[in-house]
Structure 1
Amino acid sequence: MPFDHNDHYHRLLLRRLPRHGLTAVDVGCGTGRFARRLAALGYQVDAVDPSAEVIAVAEGVGGGPRFRQLAAADADLPKGHYDVITCLASLHHMPFDTVARFRDALAPGGVLLVLGCYAGITWWDIAAVPANAVARARTSVAEKLRRAEPPPLRPPVRPPDMSLADIRHEAARLLPGSRVRQLLYWRYLLTFRAPEN
């Protein structure tokens, strides 16, 4: 697919980073595009993904993050350590209550940012269809004009099994004070800030 729905929201996520963050973990980092953006901002980034193949590609590109093959749902993340935890279109590949482990790994004032996928159809999804067609066509033309390199590895596709209402309910239970905002392109943004102490 020429238009990447997750990459489209990178700037939105970057605007929600804490002002003085130093440490980050990008969960389900894939080939590391967002992790490299964090590293370029000066973060010490742990980028983790369960796929050895994508980690090999990410390490081949380089760019600053420390890439590790690791399933975040099973990972022993250090408590109170990270200023930022990001999870782009990967939470639906693990139990939702994994967010509690992410919450516990946040440093005081740290931010959890989940760009997630949800099950079901809403009015936003109907509006996304023409917008998606235009964005895909524009990106495809631009790539042809640039004679872009071969497409990157395709991420694993697993349909989400939680509705937006279920996600909001579970986020409120596990991450008190969190906010879930519906976005175009079949995505939502979950934002949680750890107490300052």
Structure 2
Amino acid sequence: MAFDHNDHYHRLLLRHLPAHGRTALDVGCGTGRFARRLVARGYRVDALDPDPATLAAAEAMGGGPRYRLADASRADLPAAHYDVISCLASLHHMPFTTLTRLRAALAPGGRLLVLGCHAGVTAWDVAAVPANAVARLAVYGAERARGLPAAPPRAPVREPRMTLPEVREQAARLLPGSEVRQLLYWRYLLTYVAPKYPAAMAS
């Protein structure tokens, strides 16, 4: 069944975009679905992914992002450049300290949006089980009615290691002023707005 937990939160992430943003970086872009949504909003998008097969599938779909085979934890990123940096279900594939590299790439007033995966089980995770089943059945029914298309390739999957309290603790240390909000479907949303004056940024 094709219900995708990350795609489910695209609209939530889009609501956090700055009013006048123009440049974006999508980290761990996978097959590029969110990167293409940013392009549709008028952004010039750099989309990074370290998996060649997944990136090839993204490039085949076109849509406007500039795709690059790269690991954001090691890639050269322009300093103070991007109005938006998005990172959907990919931060747990990298050292959590990669957040500091992403912070440095944000333009003054730019926004970092991380849809992350956490380890462990919370009350919200228990509540997500029936909601997840209902959503999967709804998507399955809709696809059966239309005829099932071939599923796009999946990016490599890695289980998260950090619990939600650990995510909150490390985010507060690395990105003072950031917020971490728990979501259904074993996800959290980390948001951070860079200071408008670069000299005010924490070291």
Distance in 2 (CA, whole Å) between partners of 1:35 and 1:73 is 19
1:91-170 to 2 correspondences below 5 Å? 91-170=91-170
SS in 2 for 1:196: coil
1:30-109 to 2 correspondences below 5 Å? 30-109=30-109
- CA displacement at 1:148 relative to structure 2: 3.0
What percentage of residue pairs aligned between the two structures are identical? Answer: 68
Deviation readout 1:32-64 (Å, 9 max, x if unpaired): 000000001110000010011111111111001
| Contact 2:51–2:155 (Cα < 8 Å) also in 1 | no
Deviation readout 1:1-46 (Å, 9 max, x if unpaired): 4110000000000000011100000000000000000001110000
Question: 2:201 maps to which residue?
Answer: none
SS in 1 for 2:54: helix
Distance in 2 (CA, whole Å) between partners of 1:126 and 1:120 is 11
Distance in 1 (CA, whole Å) between partners of 2:24 and 2:158 is 26
Distance in 2 (CA, whole Å) between partners of 1:148 and 1:60 is 20
Match of 1:107, as an amino acid? A
Question: 1:16 maps to which residue?
Answer: 16
- CA displacement at 1:156 relative to structure 2: 1.4
Deviation readout 1:78-105 (Å, 9 max, x if unpaired): 1100000000000000000000000000
For the pair 1:2 / 2:2, whether they are aligned, the reply is yes
Structure 1 stretches of 4+ moved >4 Å: none
SS in 2 for 1:96: coil
The normalised TM-score by structure 2 is 0.96
Match of 1:29, as an amino acid? C
Distance in 2 (CA, whole Å) between partners of 1:18 and 1:77 is 20
Deviation readout 1:121-178 (Å, 9 max, x if unpaired): 0000000000000000000110111113111112211110000000000000000000
Tell me the matched-pair count: 197
For the pair 1:180 / 2:200, whether they are aligned, the reply is no
SS in 2 for 1:160: coil
